[in-house]
Structure 1
Amino acid sequence: MDLTEIGGQLMQQIQQTSPLEWTAVVFGVSEVLLARKNNIWLYPTGIIGILCSSILLYQSQLYAETFLQGYYLVMSIYGWANWGNRSSTGASRISRSSKRVKWITWGIAGLGWVLLYGVLRAFTNSDVPLLDAFVTSTAWAGMWLLAKRKLENWIWLNVSNLVAIPLLVYKELFMFSVLTLILFVVAIFGYLDWKRTLDTADE
């Protein structure tokens, strides 16, 4: 498939995009932009995007994907509360991951990858279960770190994005691949902005 054909299919997908799907995309991008700015409003914005995506996935009979949105909803509610928590157990400021948090993150990603791969192999007709499971499990880890307001969330989310982009192209979901590429670029700047904030605080 050449670039002209890919571009044609992308334009066709854009023209066929429903208002609900556009809403999900706009709020999804807005969530990442607000996260880059370290703005707590990323969570209510993200929740709207998640709810719109859940409706679309359910209507498309992608029930497993709909269920996975539940995780993002729970983590968004948890993150919203955690970011607003000014106590020592909250995440009112950006910080770096401790060794304990790093081990938990690797556990979420590693165990999630194995479990999801097993579920996809056993209960679905996925032709890319290994990569599909990897994209989701690393995104889980990134979302957990975002809820903890940890700098490393951007690394994990972009590991997920980096694998998701060619996977979406392979599935001929060109619009979503372009969206993921945009999110990938924004996440790079998000990491640099958060790191600059931490470096300034350490001076």
Structure 2
Amino acid sequence: MFDYFFAQYSTYPLHEVYLELIAVFFGLCSVWYAKKDNILVFPTGLISTSIYAYLLWQWSLLGDSMINVYYFIMSIYGWYHWTRKKDNVEEFPISIMTLKEKKMAVIIFIATLVFVILVYLYFNKFTSWYSYLDTLLTGIFFVGMWLMAKRKIENWIFWIVGDILSIPLYLAKGYTFTSFQYIVFTIIAIYGYLEWRKILNKKNLPL
């Protein structure tokens, strides 16, 4: 069993194994802080996403690599967005999506799919089911991160779906630590949604 999950690491460059473990650690920290609605979600996320952007490109998961570049940029935006206050009150608290934001989410999803498909075609990387699933995940995670930065509770739904789909992808690719990370991500994301929903219920906002 151990060999099935970890034997492939014996052939990987040692620095990539260390980088993956560091990225996993800070990734888990970031999702935990997101669950707690803690602004530390962004600095920890910046460390994890910058490492994964490099590793995923090396692993030929171009869509996920671009996701992490996008995460990095959106983490900076989200960090600023979450700190904005007016009269010492949070200007952008946890909330639900408006109709306009739902329409924008659809546009972001479709535009992302089109862009990633073009990238894969350009590099001639549509060689296995990994590529197709990676393309779908890119669209899901792009929307999820956008909603996270805007502090919308629906972000958790996108994270949950994307995390579940990522588990078999990374396991099949041989990146066991990252696959296990997404199992934990899924659990935390479910609790994150429930915790944010309690906050909204206290404000008497409909879900």
Q: Which TM-score bucket, shorter chain as reference?
A: 0.7 to 0.9
Q: What letter is aligned with 1:146? A: M
| Pairs aligned (count) | 196
Please list the CA deviations of residues 7-52 of structure 1 after superposition, one character each: whole Å capped at 9, or x if unmatched. Answer: 4232336786733322111000000000000001110111111223
TM-score by length of structure 2 reads 0.83
What does residue 23 of structure 1 align with?
22
What does residue 12 of structure 1 align with?
7
Aligned-pair Cα RMSD in Å? 2.5
What does residue 123 of structure 1 align with?
123
| Structure 1 gaps, min length 5 | none
Asked whether the equivalents of residues 74 and 145 of structure 2 are also in contact (C-alpha less than 8 Å), the reply is yes
Asked whether the equivalents of residues 94 and 149 of structure 1 are also in contact (C-alpha less than 8 Å), the reply is yes
Q: Separation in 1 of the partners of 2:195 and 2:23?
A: 25
Q: What letter is aligned with 1:121? A: L
Q: Separation in 2 of the partners of 1:97 and 1:183?
A: 22
Identity between Structure 1 and Structure 2 (%) = 32
Q: What letter is aligned with 2:96? A: R
Please list the CA deviations of residues 151-196 of structure 1 after superposition, one character each: whole Å capped at 9, or x if unmatched. Answer: 0000011121122222223323332221111101110000000001
Q: What letter is aligned with 2:50? A: L
Q: What letter is aligned with 1:70? A: V
TM-score by length of structure 1 reads 0.85
Asked whether the equivalents of residues 67 and 142 of structure 2 are also in contact (C-alpha less than 8 Å), the reply is no
Q: Separation in 1 of the partners of 2:91 and 2:117?
A: 32
What does residue 111 of structure 2 align with?
111
Q: What letter is aligned with 1:137? A: G
Shift of 1:70: 2.0
Change (3 A) 1:153 1:132: same
Shift of 1:131: 1.5
Asked whether the equivalents of residues 27 and 48 of structure 1 are also in contact (C-alpha less than 8 Å), the reply is yes
Q: Separation in 1 of the partners of 2:174 and 2:55?
A: 18
1:52-201 to 2 correspondences below 5 Å: 52-57=51-56, 60=58, 62=60, 64=62, 66-87=65-86, 92-126=92-126, 127-128=128-129, 129-201=131-203
Asked whether the equivalents of residues 91 and 148 of structure 1 are also in contact (C-alpha less than 8 Å), the reply is no
Asked whether the equivalents of residues 57 and 63 of structure 1 are also in contact (C-alpha less than 8 Å), the reply is yes
| Structure 2 gaps, min length 5 | none
